Amino acid sequence: MVMGIIFKTVNYTYQPSTPFEQKALKNISVEIPTGSYTAVIGHTGSGKSTFLQHLNGLLRPSSGEIVIGKQIITPETKNKELGELRKHVGIVFQFPEAQLFEETVLKDIAFAPKNFGKNEEEATAIARQMARQVGLKEELLLKSPFELSGGQMRRVAIAGILAMEPEILVLDEPTAGLDPKGRLEMMEMFKELKEKQNLTVILVTHQMDDVANYADNVIVLENGRLIANGSPKKIFAQPKWLIEHHLALPKAGEFAVNFEKKTGYKFETLPLTESDLASQIVKMVHGGVQNG
């Protein structure tokens, strides 16, 4: 099923018409192509999590309209109409380990597929498979999720969403608080999964390296407004603009900019990933000095 996502001048206000009113999204119009790996970046409080919660109708726009596949979400859409959509959109929330509740790890992972109509056996089979996928050892499956370490709990929670076999996978800082190795494993796992099953992935992150390494589309939010949308190349092309908006370059790009400043060499295009940086340096060394 093709599930394109289109936001049409979406506004969202928390606690409208009270003194605590907070406009969290302002006139957002954007399209997220099916099968893309979209990174959503922006400062703390810029509205990223609010944006994500619109993707399966947990929040409905205060005004405007969102189209996801065949489902149109307007301010008037009823909760009941959204069950079908929620089957197809899996959201891994910020610190998802807070959602664990079952007696065993296996049961917790099987919870969502059971809710969405799978029988006990099918759900358990999917749960086992997903546990393997996120790197949980077999002997943990019958333990209580509350006996696990923080990192293991995170994996259980993520597996619980993957078990829904969503077509759109939404990740809100899924690796925050994991160790570097676990982080890399997770990100590689998402990438592999996306390629194998042709998912649409939407990732909120503060790690510009993740944006450069994995995303092919970037949405930049600031104070609830969309201030840029395009490929990582386009977004990272103007280091000055990034600094103005309190964003950073990926490490490789940062290195390249400093390298240009110190040595006077010029890169053809600003490298964003380590491998790109390495190959450009190799080319430079072999191709001789262009500029002294």
Partner 1 sequence: MGKVLLGRYIPGSSLVHRMDSRSKLILSFFFIVIIFLANNWESYLLLFIVTITSILTARVNFSFFIKGVRPLIWLILFTVLLQIFFSSGGTVFWKWGPFTLSYYGIVNGIYVFCRFVLIIFMSTLLTLTTAPLEIADALEKLMMPLKRIKVPVYEISLMLSIALRFVPTLMDETTKIMNAQRSRGVNFGEGNIMQQIKAVVPLLVPLFVSSFNRAEDLATAMEARGYHGGEGRTKYRVHYWEIRDTLGCTFFVVVFIILLFIRQW
Ligand X SMILES: Nc1ncnc2c1ncn2[C@@H]1O[C@H](COP(=O)(O)OP(=O)(O)OP(=O)(O)O)[C@@H](O)[C@H]1O
87 binds ligand X (CB under 6 A): no
- From residue 42 to residue 81, the character string flagging contacts with Mg ion as x (rule: CB under 5 A) and all else as - is -------x--------------------------------
For residues 71 and 75, what is the distance between their CA atoms, to the nearest angstrom? Answer: 13
Show Cβ contacts of residue 31 under 8 Å, excluding neighbours closer than 6 positions.
Answer: 4, 5, 6, 7
Total residues at interface with ligand X (CB under 6 A): 13
Contact range with partner 1 by CB under 8 A, out of 1-9, 10-18, 197-205, 208-216: 10-18
Nearer to partner 1, 161 or 203 (CB): 161
In degrees and rounded to multiples of 5, residue 65 shows phi and psi of -155, 145
45 binds partner 1 (CB under 8 A): no
Total residues at interface with Mg ion (CB under 5 A): 1
- From residue 32 to residue 61, the character string flagging contacts with ligand X as x (rule: CB under 6 A) and all else as - is ----------x-xxxxxxx-----------
Contact range with partner 1 by CB under 8 A, out of 93-101, 180-188, 272-280, 282-290: 93-101
116 binds partner 1 (CB under 8 A): yes
22 binds Mg ion (CB under 5 A): no
Identify what 208 binds: partner 1, ligand X, Mg ion, none; CB under 5 to 8 Å per kind.
none
152 binds partner 1 (CB under 8 A): no
DSSP string, the chain: ----EEEEEEEEEESTTSTT-EEEEEEEEEEE-TT-EEEEEE-TTSSHHHHHHTTTTSS--SEEEEEETTEEE-TT--GGGGHHHHHHEEEE-SSGGGG--SSSHHHHHHHHHHHTT--HHHHHHHHHHHHHHTT--GGGTTS-GGGS-HHHHHHHHHHHHHTT--SEEEEESTTTT--HHHHHHHHHHHHHHHHHHT-EEEEE-S-HHHHHHH-SEEEEEETTEEEEEE-HHHHTT-HHHHHHTT----HHHHHHHHHHHHH----SS---SHHHHHHHHHHHHHH--S--
Identify what 111 binds: Mg ion, partner 1, ligand X, none; CB under 5 to 8 Å per kind.
partner 1
Integer CA distances (angstroms), 140 to 32, 116, 124, 145, in order: 37, 25, 14, 9
- Smallest separation, CB 82 to ligand X (Å): 19
Identify what 46 binds: partner 1, ligand X, Mg ion, none; CB under 5 to 8 Å per kind.
ligand X
- From residue 5 to residue 24, the character string flagging contacts with ligand X as x (rule: CB under 6 A) and all else as - is ---------xx------x-x
133 binds Mg ion (CB under 5 A): no
144 binds partner 1 (CB under 8 A): no
Q: Which of 39, 40, 73, 89 binds partner 1 (CB under 8 A)?
A: 89
Cα 67–Cα 89–Cα 128 angle in degrees, nearest 5: 165
Residue ranges that bind partner 1, judged by CB under 8 A: 14-15, 18-20, 53, 56, 58, 79-80, 83, 86-87, 89-91, 93, 96, 98-101, 111-112, 115-116, 146, 160-161, 164
Residues within the interface to ligand X (CB under 6 A): 14-15, 22, 24, 42, 44-50, 94
